[in-house]
Amino acid sequence: MEERNELYPVFLKVHNLQTLIVGGGTVALEKLGFLLKSSPNAKVSLVAPSFDSQVLEIATQKNLKLIHDTYDQKYLSGAHIVIATTDDTEVNIQIYKDCKEKNILVNVADNPPYCDFYMGGIVTKGNVKIGISTNGKSPTTAKRLRQFFEEVIPDDIDELVKNLNSYRKTIKGDFGEKVEKLNEFTKSLVSKSEK
């Protein structure tokens, strides 16, 4: 049987959620950078005994909360999403267990069995955002696909989206009729060349 990616993609408003990153080293920096690139106004706290100098620099620019301490379950209070990036596997697994007890979504970096979600590749052009997942199998492939889509999606796609939104507001009828009219109007965007 062919393996299939069964992840369900969602786009979270992380500026309305509290994200906790446990760890302050290079992996924390990578996850923080990824999060803030996609969502510059994300609410993020980090807890670690020490922080990479680049994490400290970003924290002052983005007004992030830094907690100079080792992991303790008390830091999960108020968190909606947790990303474990410590270099101690046992601590990361404990973070996972603690999050599961509290129904908090958790990602243990580089340890797929201990992840409720993966941080895949993301392409953003104005209001258009595309998420790319390899089911945790190959972040490098997700990166290459991201680069590909960044090149092929036109920079002015956002103008099209805004115009279609304006057009959508003028369409009369019920939901089904509106969807049908928009589908007809936009089908040329995905038309395939005839062989």
Residue 10 lies in a domain: no
Radius of gyration of the chain (CA): 20
Same domain for 110 and 33? yes
Same domain for 112 and 37? yes
Segment 35-67, tens digit of pLDDT: 999 999 999 999 999 999 999 999 999 989 999
Same domain for 174 and 148? no
Q: State which residues form the domain around 169.
A: 157-190
Same domain for 125 and 113? no
b (16+ CB within 10 A) / e for 84-122: bbbeeeebbebbbebbeeeebbbbbbeeeebbebbbbbb
What residues contact 150, with CB distance under 8 A and at least 6 apart?
123, 125
Same domain for 49 and 104? yes
Same domain for 128 and 36? no
Same domain for 149 and 162? no
Q: Residue 186 has which token pair?
A: 């936009």
Segment 85-111, tens digit of pLDDT: 999 999 999 999 999 999 999 999 989
Same domain for 146 and 83? no
Segment 137-192, tens digit of pLDDT: 888 898 899 999 999 998 888 888 888 888 778 888 888 887 887 887 777 766 54
* Confidence check: pLDDT of 193 > 80: no
Residue 76 lies in a domain: yes
Same domain for 109 and 25? yes
Residue 9 lies in a domain: no
pTM for the model stands at: 0.84
Same domain for 56 and 31? yes
Taking the CB of residue 29, how many other CB atoms lie within 10 A of it?
21
Same domain for 78 and 55? yes
Residue 7 lies in a domain: no
Bridge-based pairing of strands 105-108 and 81-84 is parallel
DSSP H/E element including 181: helix 175-186
Number of domains in the chain: 3
